[in-house]
Chains A and B, each alone.
Chain A
């Protein structure tokens, strides 16, 4: 797909090009939004806001970078702003604990599919969930996370370590359950 032409057509206000760009990236981007939120409805809200931002800021995309990565970054930022603005996510986003927590070097086997894994991530408290997504999947450093969320770098590290440990324990438990044919979690 010629992204450069697609972007130019979108910038000219071509409706079919806009529809094409949306259709091309919407599914993957909904996956990103899904990881950050607690429900599919919230994820769709973020996706909608995110795509509005994408189209309104498309002139900032020059065409030399990867369009998908650019859109993804917009979605992540939109999701974070959404979490900050929504009251039901407020409590979980309070990062009071600044104590250091060592990061384990465990590397459990991942026999879960993408959705199952995403559902486990979404079961983390929202604060843990956000930091885990940003660091482990998006690749933000703790310094960057601290700046974006307005927390200390140490807090980010600590929360990440806790989130990671929690997630590994759930993955391990799920793996055992799967092997034994039990499904502790839906």
Chain B
């Protein structure tokens, strides 16, 4: 009810209010309601295929990298199978013994039953208890024990004598006690077998869609109602409304660059490959190729993961409604942890590259020093008494493509993938010289420029008029951290939580 007549007058007046909209409005409406669902852009598929190929390549590399490991794995599998066979064989033997025992009893009660038939009949009856799956395994186990004559008999009996056996036994045994007990046993076994198969069938049927579920699926999802859509349906549709690509406001949004800040924290490591860090013993920051040397061949410390964080700014721009391109500039700190012995502040030479087979490190070094030798002022003995943190300071230039995987504007799920070029500004990471058995610093051994592959899955959370995106990030150095190729290529790895903040993007 209105307070007085004033509102009624206003209402009446407002009923008369009409304007002619511009033609562009209908054009946009018409295009929007009659447009077909666009397939995903080629850029998405390009990156998707690239990601798949990358993963496939890494997997292939991992599988084929170490044939010894592969052989060992096959051996292990064989051993496992052999053990299983042995277990089944012993089980069979046990059954055979039981069968023999029963046969002996039967012999006593029924003299006209031949030993072999009773044996086969009993074996058959015990076999019938097995369900179909067990039977398959059992037959396999028999194949492995084919050199045993009894086993051969069992196999033959399973293969051909199921119905015939029962009849044969019945006929042979006549009316004696043995017959009744054996027939009962056989019938029971067959029944059990059928019951098991029936149970399996039932369980399979249970997994099928029940009629009520089927009805629920078949029934229309939405119910036609006369009520106009109030807030709820409109809110639901508001996500769909974002499709209105031709809306001027949205076009404006899409075509503009937006600036944001980015940060993240997690752990970093130096990996031999994408998935190998802790399994490899020889994971020193720089390992000496001792193939031709006469050194100690000492083992370096394993590398443990350390803290890592990053911060930076980026700009992004929509290439389409759900595809975004972003470029940024980050500072990224990586660290790893190793163990060394005592520190010595003294000048000494170390071997920074593989020693030629002709060289003998213990002899006085020639002057000038060869390229594989350098002099350091501080070094660390090998050992595991002192923890040492390797620090890496890098500047990164990430180039990412963002793909919104869902349609929600409020809680977008975004997959970000791309490359980042980085420059190693500074590092105090230690290298290991197994010949002299010391750790030393030498920044010239590092590959200063790096190329990394990165992948992030993020959830967007609108906060007021801003967008906060948060999710796990993985970054892997496609190029090695060291300049010279070593037996263990080393790649920088980072895994952490990424956070993007874009002001004014809702």
Interface residue ranges, A against B (CB under 8 Å): 13, 15, 18-19, 22-23, 26-28, 30-32, 34-35, 40, 43-45, 47-49, 51-53, 55-57, 59-65, 69-70, 73-74, 77-78, 81, 85, 87, 90, 103, 105-108, 110, 112-115, 117-118, 135-137, 139, 147-148, 164, 168
Contact = CB atoms under 8 A, between A and B. Distances in A.
A13 B34 contact: yes
Given A51-B29, A61-B228, A117-B17, 7 more contacts: A30-B20, A32-B17, A47-B25, A52-B33, A59-B224, A60-B228, A69-B228
B4 A107 contact: yes
Nearest to B7: A136
Contact of B247 (A13, A45, A55): A45
Contact of B224 (A30, A34, A62): A62
B30 A18 contact: yes
Tell me whether chain A's interface is mostly helix, strand or loop, or mixed. Answer: helix
29 contacts: A13-B34, A15-B34, A22-B26, A26-B21, A28-B17, A30-B19, A30-B21, A31-B19, A44-B22, A44-B24, A47-B21, A48-B247, A49-B247, A51-B25, A52-B33, A53-B234, A57-B237, A60-B229, A74-B234, A106-B6, A107-B4, A110-B10, A110-B13, A112-B13, A113-B16, A117-B10, A117-B14, A137-B11, A139-B2
Contacts of A47: 21, 25
Given A27-B18, A27-B19, A52 B6 contact: no
Contact of B21 (A27, A103, A105, A113): A27
Interface of B: 2-7, 9-11, 13-14, 16-22, 24-26, 28-30, 32-34, 222, 224-231, 233-235, 237-238, 240-241, 244, 247-249, 465, 506
A146 to B, nearest CB: 12
A34 B18 CA distance: 9
B230 to A, nearest CB: 7
Given A27-B18, A44-B22, A137-B10, A148 B4 contact: no
A168 B10 contact: no
Contact of A168 (B6, B222, B248): B6
A92 to B, nearest CB: 15
B240 to A, nearest CB: 6
Contact of B249 (A30, A45, A51, A81): A45
Contacts of A60: 222, 224-225, 227-229, 233
**Most interface-central of B11, B230, B235 (chain A CB within 10 A):** B230
B376 to A, nearest CB: 60
A87 B26 contact: no
Contacts of B7: 135-137
A70 B244 CA distance: 22
A49 B241 contact: yes
Q: What are the 4 tightest A-B residue pairs by CB atom distance, in nearest-first order? A: A31-B17, A62-B226, A70-B228, A27-B18
A114 B244 contact: no
Contacts of B6: 106-108, 136, 164, 168
B222 A59 contact: yes
B244 A49 contact: yes
Contact of B25 (A26, A56, A137): A26
Given A30-B18, A56-B240, A105-B3, A74 B29 contact: no
B14 A31 contact: yes
Contact of B506 (A31, A48, A85): A85
A107 B10 CA distance: 11
A77 B237 CA distance: 11
A74 B14 CA distance: 17
A64 B248 CA distance: 35
Contacts of B16: 113-114
B293 to A, nearest CB: 69
Given A40-B19, A64-B226, A48 B14 contact: no
Contacts of A23: 26
B25 A48 contact: yes
Contact of A44 (B4, B25, B237): B25
A135 B240 CA distance: 28
Contacts of A49: 241, 244, 247
Contact of A74 (B25, B225, B228): B228
- For B7, B17, B18, B247, the residue with the greatest tally of chain A CB atoms inside 10 Å of its CB is B17
A148 B238 CA distance: 15
Given A22-B29, A44-B22, A137 B14 contact: yes
Contacts of A59: 222, 224
Contacts of A87: 465
B29 A48 contact: yes
Contact of A15 (B19, B22, B30, B241): B30
A35 B233 contact: no
A136 B2 contact: yes
A64 B226 CA distance: 7
A15 B11 CA distance: 33
Contact of A118 (B4, B14, B32): B14
Given A56-B237, A74-B234, A81-B234, A61 B465 contact: no
A9 B33 CA distance: 14
A56 B234 CA distance: 10
B466 to A, nearest CB: 11
B220 to A, nearest CB: 10
A77 B233 CA distance: 10
B234 A62 contact: no
Contacts of A48: 25, 28-29, 244, 247
B25 A52 contact: no
A53 B17 CA distance: 22
A18 B225 CA distance: 21
A51 to B, nearest CB: 5
